[in-house]
Structures are given as structure tokens and as C-alpha cells.
Structure 1
Amino acid sequence: MSDRLGPIPPESMTEAQRVAAQAIIDGPRGALYGPFVPLLRSPELLDNAQRMGEYLRYRSAIGVRLSELAILVTAREWNQKVEWAIHAPIAAQVGIPPAVMGAIARGERPEAMLVDESVVYDFCIELHREKRVSDRVYNDALALFGEHGVVDLMGINGYYTFLAMVMNTAQTAVPPSTAAPLPD
């Protein structure tokens, strides 16, 4: 499987592509990688997407730990190995236990989750698999996170689904990672 939309040499970039790439390099990500490489073909889409992603990844109302959990569930549901390679080490750093990550990687419901992790997991799984969220799961999320948190949780699922679609279509190469690879 070859990378359909790999890196663009700097000398081949348009001015709009250079500006969009530099905004990512100068931001908290520090480099142009993963989904932003294929998205560079549409600089305005890239710019808007990366700004949304910056908020959802670094400042969402549910916090970084639970955002990373939601990203891992999304990566598993979309079989997205790049997202997994990038985010599994971050999830481990912010406190998602290895057993929880291992169960998610295998497509299983983790047994030993904190209450907030369980609520996020159930919300994400229902949203991805059922294309909706039951009243019980919605009300659990609402009680823990409020409306702002519920909306951000929906946003994280949607944003990382978008990135998964981009990378699955582009066949983006999986970067080296300290995490075990996501199984097929």
C-alpha cells in the first residue's frame, strides 16, 4: 500500500500551501505530519481543520486524558493506524492505563475503567456503531461533562473520523511509534 498523497516538496508548494504548512509547524504540533500531509492539497480546508483539531486536542471541555481516550476509540473503529501510532503514546502519558488501551486495540470493552472513562467509551462506541447515542449514555455524559463537554465529545469523534477518512483514503504511511501497532 503506497502513500497516495505523500509529502509535497517545499519548492513545489503554492504560496497558500506554504502558509498553511507553516501555521502547523509554528503551532503546538511543531511539524507537518499525519493527516495534514494529504490535507495540504486543500490549504483552506487544512487551515480550518487544524484550528478545530488544535482546540479539540489541547483545550476541549472534557480534558486531554478523556479526549485521547475518545481518539483511540475512533482510531480503532476506523482501523486508523496513523491515529493510533500518534495518540496511543500520548494517551499513555496522560494516564490511560495500558490494559484499557490494549482492550480498545483488540476491539473489546475494557474491564477496569474509571467512571469518566466508561462514559466516554460508551458514548464513542454508540456514536460510531449506532450512529446515535442512547438516552442513558447521553444523560451519563451530560451529568459528568455538561452540554459543553457533550458537544466537544461529539466534536472529537467527528473530527478524528474526518482525519481517519482522509488518511484511510490517502493511505498515509504509519509513522514510527513507541506504541504497539493497532492490529488489523
Structure 2
Amino acid sequence: MTDRLGPIPPEQMSDAQRAAAQAIIAGPRGAVYGPFIPLLRSPELMEYAQRMGEYLRYRSAIGVRLSELAILVTARAWNQQVEWAIHAPIAAQVGIPPGVIGAIARRERPQGMLVDEAVVYDFCVELHRDKQVSDHTYGEALALFGEQGVVDLMGLNGYYTFLAMVMNTAQTAVPPSTMPPMPE
């Protein structure tokens, strides 16, 4: 697969692209990589997207551990290897057990999840599969995370779906990872 929208050499960037790239480099990501490479073609969109992603990834109301779990479920739903390569190692570092990560990769419901992990997993799977969330699952998420947590969980699914669509269309190159890729 050819990377359709690969890196733009700095000398070929517009002023707006340079400013948008610098904003990402100066933030917690520290570099322009993954979805931000193709998104750089639309610097204003990239700026808004990265700001939303910065909140959802680093400060969401459900916390980093559960955010990473939601990202993995979304990556699996969209067969998005870049998201997987980046976020599977992070998920492991923040406490998602290897067995849970492996089951998600294989499209299996993980065994032995903590209650909050199971609620996030079910919420995300239902949202991607059914395009809605059942009253039961919604009620469990609401009881655990409150309204802001539920909205942030919806936001995580939507945001990482957006990134998956961008990278799947752009055929973004998969970076090296400490975790194996998802099976086809």
C-alpha cells in the first residue's frame, strides 16, 4: 500500500501548515505523526482535531486507562493499524491487561475485565456495531462515569473513528510498534 498523503517536506509547507505543525510539536504529542500527516493538508481542520484529541486522549472524564481501551475498540472496528500500533503499547503501559488487548485484536470479547473496562468495551462495541447504545449499557456507563463521562466516551469513539477514516483513506504508513499488528 502506498502512503497517499505522506509527510510534507518543511520547505514545501505553507505558513498555515508550518504553524499547525508547530502547534502539535509544542504540545504533548511532541511531533507530527499518524493522522496529523495527512490532516496537515487542511491546517485549520488539523488544529481543531488535534485540540479535541488532546482533551480526549489526555484529560477525558473517564481517564487515560479507559480512554485507551476505547481507542483500541475503535481501531479494531475500523481495522486501523496505525491507531493500533500507537495505542496498544500505551494501553498496556496504563494498565490494560495483555489478554484484554489480545482479545480485542482477535475480535473476541475479553475475559476478566474490570467492571469499568467491561462497560467501556460494551458501550464502544455497541456504538460501532449497532450505531447506538442499548438502554442497559447506557445506564451502566451513566452510573459509573456520569453525563460528562458518557459524552467523553462518545467523543472518543467519534474522534478516533474520524482519525481512522482519514488514515484508512490516506493509507497512512504504520509505524514500528512494540505490539503485534491486529490480524486481518
- TM-score, reference length from structure 2: 1.00
1:118 aligns with 2:111: no
Structure 2 Cα separation of the partners of residues 166 and 18 of structure 1: 20
Runs of 4+ more than 6 Å apart: none
- Identify the residue that residue 45 of structure 2 maps to in structure 1: 45
Unaligned runs of 5+ in 2: none
SS in 2 for 1:53: helix
Structure 2 Cα separation of the partners of residues 112 and 80 of structure 1: 25
Q: Give percent identity, aligned residues only.
A: 83
1:134 aligns with 2:117: no
- Identify the residue that residue 148 of structure 2 maps to in structure 1: 148
- Identify the residue that residue 15 of structure 2 maps to in structure 1: 15
- Identify the residue that residue 70 of structure 2 maps to in structure 1: 70
Structure 2 Cα separation of the partners of residues 30 and 129 of structure 1: 34
Shift of 1:183: 1.1
- TM-score, reference length from structure 1: 1.00
Structure 2 Cα separation of the partners of residues 24 and 89 of structure 1: 21
Unaligned runs of 5+ in 1: none
Structure 2 Cα separation of the partners of residues 3 and 145 of structure 1: 39
Structure 2 Cα separation of the partners of residues 168 and 183 of structure 1: 16
CA RMSD of aligned residues (A): 0.3
Structure 2 Cα separation of the partners of residues 128 and 106 of structure 1: 16
Shift of 1:102: 0.3
Structure 2 Cα separation of the partners of residues 144 and 162 of structure 1: 26
Structure 2 Cα separation of the partners of residues 182 and 130 of structure 1: 22
List per-residue Cα deviations over 1:16-38 (Å, max 9, x = no partner). 00000000001000000000000
Structure 2 Cα separation of the partners of residues 45 and 162 of structure 1: 12
SS in 1 for 2:183: coil
